[in-house]
Structure 1
């Protein structure tokens, strides 16, 4: 059986992961658990091992190159096919050392900076090498690469608020799930859970596409606008936000649910749970929930839901909590 070819976005995700593992395995604080996780990732797909070996070649060359102190060693290449990745790596390694990094940067193959950030159980603020500032929500993770013709962020999971330094000639591109957000300088928020993505623009403008393989730069958002997309969407869904929008309450440690159906509330809640909360059926999903919750205490919310809603809890075969609507008793005649 022939495997379907990977998309450009999938290639980029694999290469970003290979670069991350190359950085972590060379770090002095790399743990045994991380090394085990790397082995599991490497063995999950043949291309993972190919990409990682190419990264090692680039790492060995880059490690001996004279660089300014502010520049992080380059460990990233952009493939069109897995064989192009290997070819680029071999070509770079064949060059004289002083020329290798310069050529890779000049041709747009190599970044001059690569950064990886994770937020654990607290909101984290970071500054990227281009001066842009990012606020990471709990459990969020992203990588940043600075190329000659663009700046690239991959949001691996979670949520982030971006304040992007303005540079018209050097656009800032965020990859989230299948889509892409393109800006030159602005403030915006990107929320991602599984294959669902929501983009809220605060100031400036951004271009949003729901599928990175589609031609064009996508749909333009202005301030107080929102875009949503999920896997398989041809175009994002665009809507207006209002003064009472609470999507950025996480920056103050809160999750605000404004009388939402459970089917809409659960993706917002599950981002913070150890095990995602499930719905037994559509009727359960139509029950509405409101309130203001501390994002660090949402695991305790699950047990309290039967006290405030007409539901009861069960567990599925995977151990996930499941909400079930309490059957309504017919009125007595």
Structure 2
């Protein structure tokens, strides 16, 4: 396995080469190079950080030793002289990656690191280093790394709502098992379960980059949500932006939500749990409505009036939902 320093240096070298191509050749060559650079920087948070550092380095040196010298060959193929010029530029910049200084310091030094987790029925809020605000729903586990060139949250499970402080030079990435979400200044929520993902936007815009090859990148505006599970392609749906993250204000809001997913959300707060009978027809039922978190009994009492079901307590005291007989 390659050492982290070598991987970091290789990314920075690639970013400089892609950037240098934009300043050599004719207009068509420069345009193609810019398109390739912008696509490359969205591949991951590490690519975005490398691109940002390369841009800063270019501005500070005016591309010394590289301008008008690097043509546009095939993707990711560079001549040895071109690579030698990039390496020389790294020396001019004084970026001592091997020694862990210069670019590596900008790139990898964390200004804030958090490992956060919530338990049953627990909600928590955190103010991040950049002014962003992070809200966690119950049963949520994530890690935060705030760096000089990139902001990262890795959401392993649960649901969060983020109000992101706008900073065009430092994108905000959310990494999930199903894909990556990229934002600049936005308010949005992300919910992760073992086989599903939901992203909903209250304000601004986000871009989702799925891990699955069959799904393309998806741009979401305020009032839009993305739903993705193991069996179906990613789909974009309309939502009320004022209801995104409503659980923070004491409400659970459902819009044609399958009954099993409704039960799962209530079970983040309920004790004893709400269970569905072993009947596949129950999974076809859907719920629409807004319900107060502090009054789950009102939801349970209203459910038979919404759907053809009955709600009873079992021998262990848990709530059981079954079809009406």
TM class, shorter-chain normalised?
A: 0.5 to 0.7
Question: Which SS does the other structure have where 1:251 is aligned?
Answer: helix
Q: Which has more radius of gyration?
A: 2
Q: In structure 2, what is the Cα distance between the partners aligned to 1:200 and 1:239?
A: 9
Contact map agreement 2:260 2:276 (CA 8 A) in 1 = no
Deviation at 1:237, TM superposition (A): 1.0
Pair 1:269-2:266 in alignment: yes
Pair 1:229-2:228 in alignment: yes
**Which residue of 2 is the match for residue 71 of structure 1?**
none
Pair 1:183-2:180 in alignment: no
Q: In structure 1, what is the Cα distance between the partners aligned to 2:177 and 2:252?
A: 23
The 3 A distance-change label for structure 1 pair 157 and 256 is same
Give unmatched runs, 5+ long, in structure 2: 1-97
Give unmatched runs, 5+ long, in structure 1: 1-98, 328-333
Contact map agreement 1:208 1:220 (CA 8 A) in 2 = yes
**Which residue of 2 is the match for residue 254 of structure 1?**
251
TM-score normalised by L of structure 1: 0.54
**Which residue of 1 is the match for residue 11 of structure 2?**
none
**Which residue of 1 is the match for residue 133 of structure 2?**
133
**Which residue of 2 is the match for residue 278 of structure 1?**
276
Question: Number of residue pairs matched?
Answer: 224
The 3 A distance-change label for structure 1 pair 280 and 135 is same
Contact map agreement 1:144 1:153 (CA 8 A) in 2 = yes
Contact map agreement 2:215 2:234 (CA 8 A) in 1 = no
Q: Of the candidates 237, 240, 249, which is equivalent to residue 238 of structure 2?
A: 240
1:282-301 C-alpha deviation (Å, 9 max, x unpaired): 32234454554332554x57
**Which residue of 2 is the match for residue 114 of structure 1?**
113
Deviation at 1:207, TM superposition (A): 0.6
Question: Which SS does the other structure have where 2:265 is aligned?
Answer: helix
TM-score normalised by L of structure 2: 0.55
Q: In structure 1, what is the Cα distance between the partners aligned to 2:126 and 2:112?
A: 15
Question: Which SS does the other structure have where 2:185 is aligned?
Answer: coil
1:149-168 mapped onto 2 (5 Å cutoff): 149-168=149-168
Contact map agreement 2:178 2:197 (CA 8 A) in 1 = no
Deviation at 1:226, TM superposition (A): 1.0
The 3 A distance-change label for structure 1 pair 246 and 141 is same
Question: Which SS does the other structure have where 1:277 is aligned?
Answer: strand
**Which residue of 2 is the match for residue 295 of structure 1?**
293
Question: Which SS does the other structure have where 2:282 is aligned?
Answer: helix
Q: In structure 1, what is the Cα distance between the partners aligned to 2:99 and 2:114?
A: 21
Q: In structure 2, what is the Cα distance between the partners aligned to 1:242 and 1:192?
A: 20
Contact map agreement 2:300 2:311 (CA 8 A) in 1 = no
Deviation at 1:182, TM superposition (A): 0.6
Q: In structure 2, what is the Cα distance between the partners aligned to 1:153 and 1:109?
A: 15
Q: In structure 2, what is the Cα distance between the partners aligned to 1:163 and 1:229?
A: 22
Contact map agreement 1:101 1:110 (CA 8 A) in 2 = no
